[in-house]
């Protein structure tokens, strides 16, 4: 199995040293992972220590190490996204929508956006950004595609058509979807994406990766019992993998 979206530096919690990377790899190994990808937030790009990454990859061969980055998708910031998305020899680039009108939707201390917007309209604006991120062609992987549910603000109208439109765009784009267990640790207490949205992706042949979005070593592959059951129940039998921005695949049972 793989964990393709996680943070060692996280939010400036620790430096990217060989020891800190190996602490994550140890947990990855103990939880049966074959591959682990480090994907820092783009705003910590300067703190990514490529030499430490390469040394850890050499030293610790029980789990294959990959390098990615999580780009914060903001319409209008194409120059910044292109610069950050090509700054290092990444194996893959994740594009994640965290913002509507440049305001974060997932910050526990700044939830004003949910007061300002009518929830249905906010969801519409969020999924519009998700479709744009997918169709932009900048990213191999679409991060946590329904993050907007994080604090359990739900629209009072059915959003099925909105999700179908988003699944169509994702399928058309050829992007791979991040099945991200971090939602289990948030108020929503479920995986991103929801079963409903994941079923829409599966019907359209959209490939997936699995991740924990760990921000600490003990979170590596956390929640995978639930993720694996979900993706298997929906009908997935393999995950996508990446090396040097080339896609491969791995059986779910591997
Ligand atoms: Zn994210
Ligand atoms: Zn993340």
Q: What CA–CA distances, in Å, run from 221 to 1, 120, 130, 237? A: 9, 32, 25, 18
For residue 42, report the distance from its CA to the centre of ligand 2, in Å.
10
Signed CA dihedral, 47, 50, 52, 56: sign only: positive
Using a CB cutoff of 5 Å, list residues around ligand 1, an ion. Answer: 96
Distance from C-alpha of 209 to C-alpha of 242, rounded to nearest angstrom: 10
For residue 67, report the distance from its CA to the centre of ligand 1, in Å.
16
The DSSP code sequence of 118-164 is -HHHHHHHHHHHHHHHHHTS--SEE-STTGGGTT----SS--HHHHH
Task: Tell me what pLDDT residue 223 has.
Answer: 98
Q: Which numbered ligand comes closest to the C-alpha of 4?
A: 2
For residue 48, report the distance from its CA to the centre of ligand 2, in Å.
15
Task: Tell me what pLDDT residue 73 has.
Answer: 98
Q: Which numbered ligand comes closest to the C-alpha of 69?
A: 2
| Spans of the chain below 70 pLDDT | none
Task: Tell me what pLDDT residue 222 has.
Answer: 98
Using a CB cutoff of 5 Å, list residues around ligand 2, an ion. Answer: 70, 213
SS3 188: coil
- pLDDT per residue over 55-67, tens digit each? 999 999 999 999 9
């Amino acid at each position: 199995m793989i964990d393709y979206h996680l943070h060692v530096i996280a939010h400036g919690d620790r430096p990217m040293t060989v020891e800190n990377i190996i602490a994550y790899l140890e947990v990855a190994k103990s939880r049966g992972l074959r591959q682990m990808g480090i994907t820092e937030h783009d705003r910590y790009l300067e703190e990514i220590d490529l030499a430490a990454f390469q040394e850890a990859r050499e030293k610790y061969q029980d789990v294959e190490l990959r390098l990615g980055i999580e780009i914060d998708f903001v319409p209008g910031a194409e120059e910044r996204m292109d610069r950050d998305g090509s700054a290092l020899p990444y194996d893959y680039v994740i594009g994640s929508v965290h913002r509507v009108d440049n305001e974060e939707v997932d910050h526990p201390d700044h939830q004003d956006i949910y007061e300002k917007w009518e929830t249905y309209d906010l969801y519409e604006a969020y999924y519009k950004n998700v479709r744009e991120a997918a169709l932009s062609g900048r990213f191999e992987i679409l991060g946590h595609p329904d993050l907007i549910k994080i604090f359990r603000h739900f629209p009072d109208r059915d959003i099925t058509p909105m999700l179908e439109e988003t699944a169509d765009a994702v399928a058309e784009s050829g992007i791979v979807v991040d099945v991200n267990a971090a939602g289990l640790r948030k108020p929503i207490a479920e995986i991103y994406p929801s079963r409903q949205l994941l079923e829409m992706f599966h019907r359209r042949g959209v490939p997936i990766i699995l991740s924990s979005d760990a921000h600490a070593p003990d979170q590596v592959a956390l929640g995978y019992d639930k993720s694996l059951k979900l993706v298997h129940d929906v009908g997935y039998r393999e995950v996508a993998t990446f090396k040097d921005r080339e896609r491969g695949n791995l059986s779910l049972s591997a």
